[in-house]
Each structure stands twice: as structure tokens, then as C-alpha cells.
Structure 1
């Protein structure tokens, strides 16, 4: 039956595992399949046409594996491709985009920072969302060039990453932000480093828990939730090196397999 089928998740690399972990935590009984398109990362530096083609490729593989819903765990793919995916495939899609609304509504200093990829910040969807909530705010947008590559390269705790990240958030601190919105699914892995850089009063917002709640809601509305007692089976694939994907998901040891897949 369809409700027993897996949840599909894809990203340009390992960053979407930050979203995937929230889904596994929220829906521990559900099976999942995760695709890390590492050989084509980062999507944020690619053209809209290439991002769309890659998103379609990932979608069609997950559908071929019987997935009942697909989570586009990539801000860039969401903002550039999800409208086309929803128009062309019958299953539900969950997307992610920078959590601008809660930051904008809660800011006391009326200044928020957004750290995201070029592909997200230049998209029409981001522009629409930003224009709805930030008309009275000072919004400091910074493209996090090079951060995805360092995370994918296993250099999360390197001095190189620390210095690069500080150079990106310093202009935000100079303008007295009190919220920092993370606009890339890789960036939640930067939170421990960011907390060493940012003043204590600056709140960091990412989309992981909200995406997990939305996934549960859409599954429930479509009568696709698996309501048995079993623990989910989690199959993660990379089309390049599997070492970083393995390392970043070791804290989800139950029924988890990580392997290479040429997709």
C-alpha cells in the first residue's frame, strides 16, 4: 500500500541531511531514501536551467523507487525548480526556503542577516517572500561562496572555514542584526561555529523543524502516513565520495545504510 512507501529526499550534497534528520526524528516510523548529488554540488552556482534538469533527474529516480512524497531539501532547488516539479508530477512535494517571516516579525533591531547561496538569493521565489515581510527592515544578504564546498570536503572544523564564515557575518554584526536566517540546507552544520562568532543575542533560524512538521501534515492530509510501530529504514545514496555523508549521519544509526549510487 502507498502509505508504506518511503519518503524521498534530495539535495545537491550532504547539507540536506540536516533536514532529513528532522524528518527522521519527527516521523521515526517512516522509511526514507536520501539522494546526495555531490558530483553536481553546489547547485547555488549553477544556472536555473541546470538546476531544473538536476532536480528532475533526482525526482524521477525517487519516483522510480516508489517514494510517496519528495522533500526538496535544497533551498536553491526549491526556489528554482519546485513549481515545475509540482506541475509535472502527481506526488506531493515539500520545499524549503529561507525562514524570513519569523525573523522579520520577531526582530527588535529591525535588522536581519540572510546567509544563502547565489541561486537562492537571485530567485523569483526568494524575492517574492522577502518583499512580503521585509519592507521596513534592514536586510543584509550575503552569498556564502565556498561554504558548501568546505562542508562537503569534510572541513567543517577547519580554520579556513572559521575565517571565511566570520568574513561573511561581520558585515551583519556591524549593522546590528538580531536574527540570522540560514538560507541553505548545508548551513545548519555551521551553527556551532556561528555561535562562536556571533554575539549571544543574535538568534539563528533554519527551516529543518518546520519542514519536518510540514511533511507530516501533508502526509496526513493525503492519508499517506505510516502508522505502524516499526522503526523506519533509511537508505542514503551519494554519487561521489560517501565518507562525509557517512560521518554526518552517524548520529542516526538505526536501520541506516550509506552507499554509492551512480545517478
Structure 2
């Protein structure tokens, strides 16, 4: 049956596992296949054309594997390629965008910070999103170097702390009261970020919202899996050690050329 097929998830590396965790938590009976395109990380420094081509490559592979729905667990891929993916493929797509709306709506200082990749911040989708909140000051910061450090397993390194300090201090000085994480890799930095930000500044990412949207699509369009024990499958096109560590060595990670 179609509804017993897996959910496909892809990202420019290991960061999208933060989205996978939320989906797996909300929908534990669903089988998931995760593609970590770490060989091409980060997408945020690539051209729109390159991002579209990589997103189509990942989509083709997930469709070959029989997926019923695809989650683009990458802000850069969503903001640059999801329109083209939906136009080309006859399969539901769920994207991930920076959670600007809840931050802007709830901000008391009317100032929010967004930490994201360059590819997300210069995209048309992001530009259109922030136009709806012209009464909110949005402090944008490109997270140069963060994805590479995460992909290299250097989340708690001195270099990471130094970079985060340099990116977050100007936001603190600008009086933000919400920080939006605009990259699926960045939730893994929350413990580091929390040490730098004052307590009153809230951190928002998109994982829970993506999981809820996945559930809605299954409920209204496809149907839920009737299986009760679905072990997730993880693929990476680089050394699997860092991905295994992010997953706390609980799951097998398959190295595959794609």
C-alpha cells in the first residue's frame, strides 16, 4: 500500500537530522530514509542553479527508493529549489523556512535576529517572507563557517565558540528578544548559543512545525503507515562517523555514492 512507503528526507549533510528527530518523535510508526549530502555541504555558498541540481539529484534517489513524500530538511534548498521541485515531480514536498512569523509576532522589542546561510538570506522566498513584517527590525547574520565545523564534528570547538560570539554579540547589542535559527544544522549549536545569549532571548527553529506539517500531509493526502516497527535508514556520501555520532550511535549509517 502507498501509505506504507517511507518518508524521504534530505539535507546538505547531517543538520537535517534535527528535523528527522522531530518527525520521528511525532510519527514513530513511519519509516524514514535520510540522505546526508555532506560531500556537497554547505549548499549555502552555491549558486541557485547548483542548489536546484543537487536537490533534484537527491529527490531522484529518494523516489527510486520508493518514498511517498519528501521533506527538504534544508533551508537553503527549500528557499532556492522547492518551487522547481514541486513543478517537476508528482510527489508532495515539505520545505523548511526560518520561523520568522512566530518570532516577529511575539517580539516585545520588535527586533529579532536571524542566523542563516547566505543562500537562504539572499533567496527570493526569504525576501518575500520578511516583507510581511515591516514593523519588526530584523538583524540578519550569515553563519559563515558554522556548517563546515558541524560537519567536521567540531560543535564544541574553540573556533565554533569564537564564531558564535562574533555573530551573536551584535544581535544582543541590537536588543533582539528572539533568535531564529535559519539552518537545520544550527539546532545542534543551541547549547553553545545558550551560553552566549542572555536568558530572556528565546531561540526558535523550524523542526516541530515541519513535523506537524508532515503529519497534516499524511493525514489529509496520503495516509499513515500501518507498520508499527520502522527502523530509519541513513545514507551519507562521505565518512559516516560524524553522522553516527550525531545519531548517538543508535542507528546504522550506510556510505553511498550519490
Is the pair's TM-score, using the shorter chain for normalization, greater than 0.5?
yes
Q: Secondary structure at the match of 2:78?
A: helix
Equivalent of residue 253 in structure 2, options 239, 245, 258: 258
Q: 1:249 corresponds to which residue?
A: 247
Q: Tell me how far apart the structure 2 counterparts of residues 117 and 143 of structure 1 sit (CA, whole Å).
A: 5
Show the counterpart of 2:138: 139
1:157-196 to 2 correspondences below 5 Å = 157-196=156-195
Correspondence 1:51-66 to 2 at 5 A: 51-66=51-66
Look up the match of 2:15. 15
Distance 2:132 2:224 in 1: 33
In structure 1, the partner of 2:41 is: 41
Cα deviations by residue, 1:128-164 (Å, 9 ceiling, x for unpaired): 011112x011110000000000000000011110110
CA distances 1:4-38 after superposition (whole Å, capped 9, x unpaired): 11000000000000000111111100101000000
Shift of 1:225: 1.2
The residue that corresponds to 1:30 in the other structure is 30
Whole-angstrom distance in 1 between the partners of 2:179 and 2:229: 35
What is the CA–CA distance in structure 1 between the aligned matches of 2:205 and 2:98, rounded to whole Å?
Answer: 7
Residue 76 of structure 1, CA deviation: 0.2
- In structure 2, the partner of 1:108 is 108
Once the 2 structures are TM-superposed, how far is the Cα of residue 59 of structure 1 from its aligned partner? 0.1
Distance 2:179 2:162 in 1: 18
Q: Which residue of 1 aligns with 2:238?
A: 240
TM-score by length of 2: 0.98
Structure 1 residue matching 2:115: 3-state secondary structure: strand
- How many matched pairs? 258
Tell me the CA shift for residue 231 of structure 1.
2.2
Aligned partners of 1:68 and 1:224 also within 8 Å: no
Contact 2:79 2:125 in 1 (8 A): yes
State the 1:224 CA deviation.
2.6
How far residue 232 of structure 1 moved from its aligned partner, in angstroms, is 1.7
Compute the displacement of 1:250 (Å): 1.9
Moved over 4 A (4+): none
CA distance in 2 between partners of 1:59 and 1:111 (Å): 37
Distance 2:200 2:141 in 1: 20
